[in-house]
Structure 1
Amino acid sequence: MKNRFRSTLALAAAAAVALAGCSDPGAGDTDAGPAEWPAQDADLTGTTLTIWAAQNSNTVPDSVIAGFEELTGAKVDVVTIPDPYEQGVQTKVATGDTPDLAFWQPTASQLTALNATQNLQSLEGAPWLDSYDPALRDITGILNDTRYAALVTTPAVEGVYYNKEVFAANGVTDLPTDWDSFIQLARDLKADGTTPFYEMGADRWATQWWVQVQLADAAADGLWDRVNAGEEAFTDPTIQGAIDEYKALIDEGLFNADIKTATFEDQGAALLAGDAAMVMQVNSFFGQLQSLADTPELNEKIGFFPISPSGNTGTFIPDQSNALVAFKTGDADQESAARQLLSYWLGDGYGDFVNAQSTVSLQPGVDTPADVPDALLSVSDAVGDSTGSMQALAIANPDLYIYLADMIQGTKTPTEVAEATQAQFAELAKAQGAEGF
């Protein structure tokens, strides 16, 4: 998980230029869509498909592969690309090495990073589109009005996981309804001797959620459009103010005393044990909790609510385990077979898939398994009304989380965090050929 949202300057800029042939990677050839979507059960005897996956997603397609191979006679190989996954994939693609399909973060910026218009098949006209929950159908996976990614699981949402028993022990009966009530709750908990928040400063990558949830209202009002156009910067009051607020809350003592050295594993254990009341995280954090406790215990102890400045709006951030892309390999039969696998995955194979993964169904016609924990149902409920994260809406994703972790360690001020992030964003945007940079 640590690698998921990295886009280090040198690698990302180099990959963007290489993939684009020194042109704008967001522009280029476009497809009207594939000529056909083959039947899910079309005979594929003798065909071998390759799927690239990260270390945390390489078992996700197991049930789909088993069913597809039996139905079609095809063989499907999953190849694990070592972490950092995104950089590894971009480097391979830039050298002409491509699979048939790959797990990929279905955001506009990450589709641009793969030069989707040149390298990926259009998924327009896919037979499974009308099966999606209408609120989720077009939430992600689209670049320049063309669909390039197939969403297979609920996009991650930034929000607050809380310990129900800690809340009950402190007399908390109502969840916060906006940022001010959220922070007041934290102060009340601290006054009662409870650690309000737990942060994983050593592993760094989750630090950015604290800034991004504060930007939910601004994001809904076009913040990232303005940032993308060079009309607003990370150093301007909106984003700088969110960084300043995060630092102020840390200085106020609302976080764990070992914030500088705490890890992702520490964070999950602490919330489950009630050593802290709340954690700002995304869906993968719940996977950590599931490795520590079964569903009945999680339902008893762990809840979730989204938070934003003016209310309970979530901030969605699709990651690579949520979606797949199909590559243009130059072999029409292979490309057709890849589309067929997607049709099966989101068609006849989808019920088995959600049951095998114990995950929330994206399709009203396929029931969510009964053993999905309550907190994940709350996360799923938050997706439809959520607003996009930096990763979802910005044209480039600078290393905000690294700079925030530096701030926690005392090597950067909040002002320096914003300055470093803006400088990197501008370089990445310029490498893409974005106007205004």
Structure 2
Amino acid sequence: MKKFAATAAIVTALGLTLAGCGDPSGADAGSSAPAEWAAQTADLSGVELTFWAAQSSVAVPEEVAATFEKATGAKVTIEVIPDSYEANVQTRVATGAKPDLAFWQPTPSMLTAINAKSNLLSLEGAPWIETMEPDLQDLTGILDDTRYATLIGSPSVIGVYYNKDVFAANGITELPQNFDDVLADAAVIDAAGVDPFFEMAGDGWGTQWFPQMLMADDAKAGFWDEVNAGTKTFSSPEMLDSITEYNDLITEGLFNADIKTATFNDQGTALLAGDAAMVVQNNVYLTQLQALATTDELNNKIGFFPVSRQGTVATSIPDQSNAIVAFNTGDAERESAARQFMSFWMGEGYPTFVASTNAVSIVTGVENSPEVPQLALDIHASQADIAPSMQAAAVANPDLWLNLVDMINGVKTPEDVAKATQSQFAELAKAAGVAGF
């Protein structure tokens, strides 16, 4: 597996709008000194913990939290933060509200966005790290040499979910080996009266996956390092051509007719029903599909393949449902309990978590859920040849998706999208004092 190394000095410098907003009162907030870790089932009677989750991930911690409560006497309240999850979490934290634990995207840019050094507890010395698959131990969750987040499952990947029946009905018996193959299959499917692709511009955030998928080969070759250094921009051919091709495919009618208003939930039902052949998404979509269909149904109906312009390079985007963080609340008892909950989740509670979520295990010695669908195994296997997403490797994450939604609604051209996104990226970098901006 490939590791994506953003320049630590640059990433650390990016305080974004939250810099200085956190409460640094916790003695070990931002410290790399190993914390003391309580026994996984130590008594926590009377201790109450709050866990923030997105609407798409709220069910993920339920079973392991219930098991933890029974084992320790603690109470864990799971609170749903409305979408856009990341923006709303940052807003709440900036105003002083903090949970004890939360799902959070474990990339350097998003750890910086939450001002990890002040707001999050260090996870240095976490007892479960060495039990994880070796390639995943240091893949993400680390900022400026300090661990602030832990993966709980297989990291999210951008790729193509496809309806097997639609492919078979159109004589497609081999998976695409590059994007030209995808386009050839799309033409056949379109001629048969089925939407080749389904997009969700009504919610919007998923629009950024398609262009990033197209430029996976460039990302693997170091495109985001060059953007970080200021030698390339979002208007460079690698990104602009991807945005333009995405727009062209939409204009050609290869997406759903209701693309402007369709939502994330619509994507799941459309693919399962065979109303569309392909959806470009990340692992949050897998969670949605698992909520809508049984494992047998998914195995029969839905598959997954990674693709890039030139080959089958996948795109890595560890998302908020892949990792958890613990907050510096200033309450030593709750902070210790939050660490204990994480230790329990990745230790004694991990088999429960894997079984209850039908997940792929990343802990050595814990078997995959017998109900894990084959497409989940295929997604996990795709990480053998992977490129970093903007979220994983860029030093700041501008609102590419908002600009793409504007493009889909006819407000911006592809050139406008690239220019606006680069302008915001440069502003963020300049505000943080990054050289070259």
Taking structure 1 as the reference length, what is the TM-score of the superposition?
0.89
Equivalent-residue separation in structure 2 for 1:291 and 1:331 (angstroms): 36
8 Å CA contact 1:17–1:432 kept in 2: the answer is no
Root-mean-square deviation over aligned CA pairs: 2.3
Match of 1:364 in 2: 364
Equivalent-residue separation in structure 1 for 2:29 and 2:350 (angstroms): 32
After superposition, residues 105-124 of structure 1 pair within 5 angstroms as 105-124=105-124
Determine helix, strand or coil for the equivalent of 1:196: strand
8 Å CA contact 1:15–1:90 kept in 2: the answer is no
Equivalent-residue separation in structure 2 for 1:434 and 1:207 (angstroms): 28
Residues 88 and 205 (structure 1), Cα distance of their counterparts in 2 relative to 1, 3 Å cut:
closer
Q: Which one-letter code corresponds to 1:424 in the other structure?
A: Q
8 Å CA contact 1:217–1:308 kept in 2: the answer is yes
Match of 2:133 in 1: 133
Match of 1:276 in 2: 276
Q: Which one-letter code corresponds to 2:144 in the other structure?
A: N
Further displaced range: 124-133 or 381-390:
381-390
Residues 70 and 189 (structure 1), Cα distance of their counterparts in 2 relative to 1, 3 Å cut:
closer
1:207-265 CA deviation, whole Å, 9 max, x = no partner? 11110011211211221122122221101111111111112222333223333333333
8 Å CA contact 2:234–2:419 kept in 1: the answer is yes
How much has 1:15 moved relative to structure 2? 8.3
1:343 aligns with 2:343: yes
Determine helix, strand or coil for the equivalent of 2:408: helix
Further displaced range: 265-274 or 402-411:
265-274
Give the fraction of aligned pairs with identical amino acids, expressed as a percent: 57
Match of 2:86 in 1: 86
Equivalent-residue separation in structure 2 for 1:335 and 1:137 (angstroms): 23
Further displaced range: 66-75 or 160-169:
66-75
Match of 1:225 in 2: 225
8 Å CA contact 1:178–1:308 kept in 2: the answer is yes
Residues 69 and 161 (structure 1), Cα distance of their counterparts in 2 relative to 1, 3 Å cut:
same
Further displaced range: 299-308 or 250-259:
250-259
Q: Which runs of 5+ in 1 are unaligned?
A: 1-13, 23-27
Q: Which one-letter code corresponds to 1:187 in the other structure?
A: A
Determine helix, strand or coil for the equivalent of 1:343: helix
Match of 2:52 in 1: 52
Residues 375 and 33 (structure 1), Cα distance of their counterparts in 2 relative to 1, 3 Å cut:
same
Equivalent-residue separation in structure 2 for 1:88 and 1:158 (angstroms): 24
How much has 1:416 moved relative to structure 2? 0.6
How much has 1:18 moved relative to structure 2? 4.1
1:321 aligns with 2:321: yes
8 Å CA contact 1:101–1:326 kept in 2: the answer is yes
Equivalent-residue separation in structure 2 for 1:117 and 1:208 (angstroms): 29
Determine helix, strand or coil for the equivalent of 2:196: coil
Match of 1:32 in 2: 32
1:302-346 CA deviation, whole Å, 9 max, x = no partner? 111011122212112122122111122333333222211111110
Equivalent-residue separation in structure 1 for 2:84 and 2:272 (angstroms): 28
How much has 1:39 moved relative to structure 2? 1.8
Residues 265 and 101 (structure 1), Cα distance of their counterparts in 2 relative to 1, 3 Å cut:
closer
1:264 aligns with 2:269: no
Equivalent-residue separation in structure 2 for 1:54 and 1:120 (angstroms): 18
Q: Which runs of 5+ in 2 are unaligned?
A: 1-13, 23-27
After superposition, residues 116-265 of structure 1 pair within 5 angstroms as 116-265=116-265
Further displaced range: 135-144 or 37-46:
37-46
Equivalent-residue separation in structure 1 for 2:418 and 2:323 (angstroms): 31
Equivalent-residue separation in structure 2 for 1:217 and 1:156 (angstroms): 18
8 Å CA contact 1:135–1:384 kept in 2: the answer is no
8 Å CA contact 1:314–1:387 kept in 2: the answer is yes
Match of 1:25 in 2: none
1:356-390 CA deviation, whole Å, 9 max, x = no partner? 11111111311111111222221122234322211
Residues 274 and 88 (structure 1), Cα distance of their counterparts in 2 relative to 1, 3 Å cut:
closer
How much has 1:295 moved relative to structure 2? 2.2
